[in-house]
Amino acid sequence: MDAMGYTEHGFRHANLVANIGYQVLHRLDFTEREAQLACVAGYLHDVGNALARDAHGQTGGVLVYQSLRDRVEGADLMPIIAAIANHEEAEGTAVSPISAAVILADKSDVHRSRVRKAVNVDRDIHDRVNYAVEQSFLRVDSDARTVSLELTIDTTISQVMEYFEIFLGRMQMCRFAAEAVDARFRLVINGQELLA
């Protein structure tokens, strides 16, 4: 991924998505089992990138199935595979609360720490937008049943409009994912609610 110029998709990202995926379901009062399965799926969700960037969700689902089918019960393995295979906006959707949690966790990881080479921010819109994000937090409010992506963006580096140019599809996916866990998705940028 580094050689191809993509944002960071390593252990930091895997651990973050695993932890946030767990927290989403835990805070919204899903079962401990579902939260743990979201954690596992979140950790493994990008493993398909080892073989191919395109369709890496489906590729990852097959890899995980082949690796774990003799070690994990089908009732636990199938939701993990479905979440991995459905986490990308090009070919996926929230098919369960577990997959919804992985989608919300994955799409909320936008931050300057994901940019590998800051020298590219002028040339690459993905690097520029990620680099402009100084703070990113996914807030889950169980009482209000909201999942809020709260971003602080340095608008001297990237305008908010550029965020929407590249991430609108992801934000729509987050909205549908929040609905799959009976919640409402909110996007708050620099203190202003832009999607509710």
Here the contacts of 159-163 (C-beta below 8 Å, separation 24 or greater) are 160/189, 160/190, 160/194, 162/125, 162/128, 162/129, 162/132, 163/129, 163/132, 163/189
Please report the beta strands in 57-174, taking only residues with DSSP state E, as ranges in sequence order.
Answer: 133-141, 146-153
Q: Which of 51, 54, 45 is nearest to 84 (CA)?
A: 45
Q: What mean pLDDT comes out for the span 174-178?
A: 97
Does the pLDDT at position 60 exceed 60? yes
Average pLDDT, the chain: 89
pLDDT in tens, 98-153: 999 999 999 999 888 767 566 667 778 888 888 899 999 999 999 999 999 999 99
**What's the pLDDT score for residue 117?**
64
**What's the pLDDT score for residue 161?**
94
Does the pLDDT at position 4 exceed 60? no
CA dihedral 8, 118, 160, 142 (to 10 degrees): 30
**Could you state, in order of their start, the residue ranges of all structural domains in the chain?**
11-195
User: What CATH architecture is 11-195?
Assistant: Orthogonal Bundle (1.10)
